[in-house]
Amino acid sequence: MSDRKKQEKKAKGWGKMTQMTTSVSNNVISNYIQRVTEWSQSSQRIPTTEELENIAAELGIDPEEIQAAEKQSHDHYVRAQGYMRLKHWDDAIAELQEAVAFNPSNLDMLVSLASAHMGRWETRHNKEDEENIRLRIRQCLVIKPDCEEALNLLARLSHILKWRTRIFTAIGVGLGGICVGVGGVFLLGNALPSWWQKPSQLEVLEQTVTDELNSLQRQQQAIRSQMMALQRHTDHRNRRSLSALQNRINSLEREVNELERKIVEIEREKPRKITPRSYYNR
């Protein structure tokens, strides 16, 4: 057989395979992927070759069509990598589910599918993605018990869940405090029947406190005024006392001066007379 005929035969084979794959994709490929995915989720393990053949037989897919689809699964995997880099998680998951459906034991595909579910879960935090993350991680560890990528994903999931639990607990404690505070207001305000009266009661309480504060301020101002008046009265009385004392001192000085004058006159008239002691002290 010449090389040309071999190439033509090979081309016809690929054409037939492509035609079968297109037929599968257009008719039952989505049902097959859904059945395999549901089976994996329900059994929590990787389906065997026999189990996959049974599913294909139920859907009317020939073994040759399965083989053709398996060859295309790598293309789905490659496209999924591009979607993951762009963080288009829905598209990436759809491509990887199709790839994994025909290669359920491919470790790289399973790790990528778990990573895609992780990316979407971090965005939406839905329960379905969390369950799929755990499912695909378990399947990875069945194939390779020390799969580092799968273990890292599991640690990442656990870490995020732990922090979310702490945050929700803190929020719950805060809401509990608010509820306790509201409950206290209810108790002080005659409980639930006075719910609509609570704002007016608060206003009344606020007005009462304001009135008491104003009263205290007025009393303080009155006391301050009394103190200032007493100080002025005291100062005035002290000034009067000082003035009286000063007048008394001036009067005494005048009397002393008068006595000195008399003494001087007396000494002039009687030079030998002993001068009074007070004169020398002066």
Say if residue 135 is exposed, middle or buried (CB neighbours under 10 Å; 0-12, 13-18, 19+). Answer: buried
CA 37 – CA 213 distance, rounded (Å) = 74
CA 118 – CA 138 distance, rounded (Å) = 14
More confident residue, 182 or 130: 130
CA 51 – CA 70 distance, rounded (Å) = 16
CA atoms within 13 Å, Cβ hemisphere of 246: 6
Q: How long a stretch of residues is the chain?
A: 282
pLDDT band of residue 184 (cuts 50, 70, 90) is low
pTM of the model: 0.49
Encode pLDDT of 96-151 as tens digits: 988 888 888 899 999 999 999 999 999 998 999 999 999 999 989 988 999 999 99
Query: Are 117 and 132 spatial neighbours (Cβ–Cβ below 8 Å)?
Result: yes
pLDDT band of residue 22 (cuts 50, 70, 90) is very low
Query: Are 96 and 112 spatial neighbours (Cβ–Cβ below 8 Å)?
Result: yes
CA angle 160, 164, 169 (to 5 degrees): 150
Query: Are 35 and 55 spatial neighbours (Cβ–Cβ below 8 Å)?
Result: yes
Token duo for residue 13: 């084979």
More confident residue, 39 or 77: 77
CA 47 – CA 107 distance, rounded (Å) = 14
Token duo for residue 105: 């034991």
The amino acid present at 7, given as its one-letter code, is Q
